[in-house]
C-alpha cells in the first residue's frame, strides 16, 4: 500500500498560492492566508467524511474512526503557519503527509482498530505574539484566556482579541487534550538543519527534542539629539544592549552542553531615528539545549550579566520570560517501530536529536511521541531558500503511513 506523492504535490501547489508576500512565503496564524489554507484543508477533510472539530484557538482536528472505537487515538500532523519571510516546507510538509496517510487508508479501505486524528496546531512559530507553540500549549492546558489577554502582537493587539476576531472562542474548552485523551502522536517535519544532508540520508529518527527559554530584554535610556549631546552626558541604552548581544554568543560554550545554542533574533530601537539617541532598546534571546541544567545555567548567567551592565549606570531594564519548554526524550516504543520498518525496507537512516522545538514536544510528558525528520537542503530553514525534495517527502510519508498502520492495528 503506497501513498501517492502526486496528491501531496498538488496540495503543496494549492496551499503555496496563499502568502502575504509576492516572493516568498509568509502565512501567520489567523491571517487571511491562514484562513484560506484552512478552507482548503477543511474541504478535503469534509470530502473524506472525517469528524472535524475546532478548539477555542483554532487548532484543527479530524478523526478517522470507521470502527467507532473508544480507544485512545493516535495524532498525526503539524502546523501551517510560518515565520516572517519563511519557507515552503516547514510545518506544511508534516500536515500534507499526514493528510495523505488518511487519504491512503480510506483509498485502501483500511479500518484501524485505533482512531487516527489529523491535527493542525495554530500559531506554532510564535510569529504573531512572540510565544511559540501557542496552539498546542492552549490545547494541553498550559495557556488560558488570561495568558492570551497578556500576549500582544507588534501592533499592540492581544492574542485574545486577534483569535476572537478570526472566529474562535478561547473560553470554549470542549475540545481539549483531556477530553480527547490521545495515546500518542507522530509528527513528520523537515530537519531544519544540515545533518541528514551531510550524511546523504533522507530519513532521520528523532530521539529527543531540545528545550528552550525565550526572553525579551528591554533597556531604557534617555532620548536626545545625536549631534548636540556630548558623549559623557548620554544615557544610550544601545551600549549595554550591544555588550549583552555579544555576550550571548559565549553562553553555550561556557554553560551549556555540546548541543547548546543561544541567539539574538529580534532587535528594536526606539525611536529608531538615524540622528536620535535611543530612548529604549528591546531584543530577544533564544536559549536552547538538550540539557535542562544547561538551559537554566545559561539563563541565570544572562540575567546576571544584564544586571552587571545596567545597574552601575542606572539603566532601568526588564527581563521577561516569554516562552519556555523543557527538553524531552521521545518514545522508545515508537522509535522501535520506525527502526523496524526502515530496516525491513532496507532504508538507511540516522537517529538524532531535534534542535528545534515542535508541537509534539508539548505533549511528550503525557503521551508517547515520535518524530520523523526529512533533510533540509543546505541545512536552511525559516528562509525562502528552504527546500526538501519530493523524493524525501515521499519516503517520509510512506514511513509515516507504515508506522501509523502498525500502531493503529
For residue range 118-161, list pLDDT tens digits in order.
Answer: 999 999 999 999 888 999 999 999 999 999 999 999 899 999 99
Q: Confirm if 147 and 104 have CB atoms less than 8 A apart.
A: no
Percent of the chain with pLDDT over 90: 94
Mark whether 18 and 131 lie in a shared domain.
yes
Mark whether 369 and 317 lie in a shared domain.
no
Domain boundary among the residues 325, 352, 376 is at 325
Domain range for 233 is: 211-325
Whichever domain contains 224, its CATH number is 3.30.70.360
- Give per-residue pLDDT as tens, 10-62: 999 999 999 998 878 999 999 999 999 999 999 999 999 999 999 999 999 99
The per-residue pLDDT for 325 is: 81
The per-residue pLDDT for 104 is: 98
Q: Give me the phi and psi of 329, to 5 degrees please.
A: -90, 135
Whichever domain contains 112, its CATH number is 3.40.630.10
The per-residue pLDDT for 358 is: 93
Q: What is the mean pLDDT of residues 190-212?
A: 95
Question: The whole model's pTM is what?
Answer: 0.84
Domain tally, the chain: 2
What pairing do the DSSP bridges indicate for beta strands 211-220 and 280-289? antiparallel
Domain boundary among the residues 302, 325, 348 is at 325
- Give per-residue pLDDT as tens, 72-87: 999 999 999 999 999 9
Q: Read off the pLDDT band of 248 (50, 70, 90).
A: very high
The per-residue pLDDT for 201 is: 97
Instruction: With a cut of 90, say whether residue 357 has pLDDT above it.
Output: no
Domain boundary among the residues 292, 325, 358 is at 325
b/e map 45-69, b = 16+ CB within 10 Å: beebebeebbbbbbbbbbbbbeeee
- Quote the mean pLDDT of the chain: 96
CB atoms within 10 A of CB 384: 15
Instruction: With a cut of 90, say whether residue 115 has pLDDT above it.
Output: yes
Percent of the chain with pLDDT over 70: 100
What does the CA dihedral 273, 275, 279, 283 come to, rounded to 10 degrees?
50
CA distance 386 to 339: 27
The per-residue pLDDT for 80 is: 97
Element (H, E) at 287: strand 280-289
Mark whether 261 and 397 lie in a shared domain.
no
CA 409 from centroid of its chain's CA atoms: 30
Q: What is the mean pLDDT of residues 170-198?
A: 96
Mark whether 384 and 370 lie in a shared domain.
yes
The per-residue pLDDT for 402 is: 98
Amino acid at each position: 500500500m503506497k501513498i501517492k506523492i502526486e496528491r501531496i504535490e498538488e496540495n503543496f501547489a494549492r496551499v503555496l498560492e496563499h502568502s502575504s508576500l509576492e516572493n516568498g512565503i509568509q502565512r501567520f496564524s489567523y491571517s487571511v492566508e491562514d484562513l484560506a489554507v484552512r478552507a482548503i484543508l477543511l474541504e478535503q477533510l469534509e470530502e473524506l467524511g472525517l469528524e472535524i472539530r475546532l478548539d477555542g484557538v483554532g487548532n484543527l482536528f479530524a478523526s478517522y474512526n470507521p470502527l467507532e472505537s473508544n480507544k485512545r487515538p493516535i495524532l498525526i500532523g503539524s502546523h501551517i503557519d510560518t515565520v516572517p519571510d519563511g519557507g515552503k516546507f516547514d510545518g506544511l510538509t508534516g500536515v500534507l503527509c499526514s493528510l495523505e496517510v488518511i487519504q491512503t487508508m480510506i483509498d485502501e479501505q483500511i479500518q484501524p482498530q485505533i482512531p487516527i486524528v489529523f491535527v493542525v496546531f495554530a500559531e506554532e512559530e510564535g510569529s504573531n505574539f512572540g510565544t511559540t507553540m501557542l496552539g498546542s500549549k492552549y490545547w494541553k492546558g498550559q495557556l488560558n484566556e488570561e495568558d492570551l489577554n497578556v500576549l500582544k502582537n507588534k501592533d499592540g493587539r492581544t492574542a485574545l482579541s486577534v483569535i476572537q476576531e478570526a472566529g474562535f472562542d478561547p473560553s470554549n474548552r470542549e475540545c481539549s487534550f483531556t477530553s480527547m485523551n490521545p495515546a500518542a502522536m507522530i509528527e513528520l517535519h523537515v530537519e531544519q538543519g544540515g545533518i541528514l544532508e551531510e550524511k546523504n540520508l533522507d530519513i532521520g529518527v528523532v530521539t529527543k527534542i531540545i528545550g528552550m527559554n525565550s526572553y525579551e530584554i528591554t533597556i531604557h535610556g534617555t532620548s536626545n539629539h545625536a549631534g548636540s549631546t556630548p558623549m559623557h552626558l548620554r544615557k544610550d541604552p544601545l551600549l549595554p544592549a550591544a555588550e549583552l548581544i555579544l555576550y550571548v554568543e559565549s553562553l553555550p560554550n561556557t554553560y551549556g552542553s555540546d548541543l547548546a545554542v543561544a541567539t539574538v533574533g529580534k532587535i528594536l530601537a526606539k525611536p529608531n531615528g538615524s540622528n536620535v539617541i535611543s530612548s529604549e532598546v528591546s531584543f530577544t534571546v533564544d536559549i536552547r539545549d538538550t540539557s535542562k541544567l544547561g538551559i537554566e545555567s545559561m539563563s541565570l548567567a544572562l540575567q546576571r550579566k544584564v544586571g552587571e551592565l545596567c545597574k552601575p549606570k542606572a539603566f532601568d531594564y526588564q527581563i521577561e520570560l516569554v516562552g519556555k519548554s523543557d527538553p524531552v526524550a521521545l518514545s522508545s516504543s515508537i522509535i522501535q517501530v520506525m527502526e523496524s520498518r526502515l530496516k525491513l525496507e532496507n532504508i538507511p537512516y540516522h537517529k538524532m536529536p531535534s534542535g528545534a522545538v515542535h508541537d509534539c514536544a508539548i505533549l511528550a510528558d503525557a503521551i508517547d511521541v515520535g518524530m520523523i525528520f526529512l533533510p533540509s537542503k543546505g541545512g536552511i530553514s525559516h528562509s525562502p531558500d528552504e527546500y526538501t525534495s519530493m523524493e524525501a517527502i515521499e519516503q517520509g510519508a510512506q514511513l509515516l503511513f507504515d508506522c501509523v498502520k502498525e500502531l493503529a492495528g
